[in-house]
Structure 1
Amino acid sequence: MAYVTFADMIRRFGTTELEQRAPGAELGVIDVERVQGAIGEAVAEIDGYVGTRYPLPLTPVPALLGRLAGDIARYRLYDDASSEEVRKRYEDAVRLLRGIADGQVSLGERPGTPTTPHLAQVVQQPGNALFKRRPGGGLR
């Protein structure tokens, strides 16, 4: 499942940037497969973190993950030549994903996911007391 689409990438980052980062065979054409590949890598990275805390696939998809997927896919398109801004947004996305995986950041209440930790249940059975009262008072 994609958290971000090709159209989302164009809307967020513009056709000019995508033409530069994923140039097609002709001038002014975007290599859609390359962008889709970067989106796939972003989804896999997000699922690696989020899947430790939430059952996948997520339905509905939290909007936060769409933003993070866009930033991660954009970073992947830059290969080794990312700008400071692109790198920082990627690092911020990973930091937030780690917070989600560690339980410090919530994606909200998700169906099938416990929202409170499970506590051990204490069962008391008559006749199995560790301490008994003495006839004159006190415990023995």
Structure 2
Amino acid sequence: MRYCTRQDIGQAIPEMTLLQLSNDDPAAEQPNESVIEEAVRQAEELVDGYLRGRYVLPLDPVPTVLRDAVVYLARHWLYQRRPEGAVPDAVKDSRKDTIKLLETIRDGVVTLGMPSGQAAPEPGEVKVRSRSQQFGDDLWGRY
């Protein structure tokens, strides 16, 4: 499930700026949708990396805080792909704040309010070995 839509990106970045950030052709009249999709994909994978092990992925429904996080990360990626232009301080700050937020979610300080509310273990098998019990309840009861 996608964390954000193209419309979410369009609301965060003005269309003219999005055209300049995403399209390498100076004569282009439309933003390059494949570049925008790549920015969103990378942002979603980064968010999933922080959430994996704490929540069962994919999340359904997607909390709005994650939608905003993906938009901020994708916006930063789009600005960063233009080395000739400086990344605005607001874009840098929103990325730093988003990473801090993802770290607090990962560490359990902030929860997403998902229906389970429980940390989900990584999928996989766990094997445990132990020695047989040497002292039973009857022996411990005599002490």
Q: TM-score range by the shorter chain?
A: 0.7 to 0.9
Which of 131, 136, 140 aligns to 1:130? It is 140
Cα distance in 2 for residues equivalent to 1:42 and 1:65: 10
Cα distance in 2 for residues equivalent to 1:2 and 1:16: 24
Partner SS, residue 114 of structure 2: coil
How far 1:114 moved relative to its partner? Answer: 2.4
How far 1:13 moved relative to its partner? Answer: 1.7
How far 1:14 moved relative to its partner? Answer: 1.8
Equivalent pair of 1:54/1:110 in contact (CA under 8 Å): no
RCO higher in structure (CA 8 A, sep ≥6): 2
TM-score (norm. length: structure 1):
0.77
Cα deviation 1:100-123 (Å, max 9, x = unaligned): 000011001334x526xxxxxxxx
1:83 matched to 2:84: no
Equivalent pair of 1:42/1:73 in contact (CA under 8 Å): yes
TM-score (norm. length: structure 2):
0.76
**Aligned-residue CA RMSD (Å):** 2.1
Q: Percent identity?
A: 29
Cα deviation 1:23-78 (Å, max 9, x = unaligned): 26443310110000000000000000011210101011111100000000000001
Cα distance in 1 for residues equivalent to 2:139 and 2:67: 56
> Which amino acid is the alignment partner of residue 30 of structure 1?
P
Cα deviation 1:75-114 (Å, max 9, x = unaligned): 0001154211101101100100010000011001334x52
How far 1:131 moved relative to its partner? Answer: 5.4
Aligned length: 122
Cα distance in 2 for residues equivalent to 1:58 and 1:43: 12
Rg: which structure is higher?
1
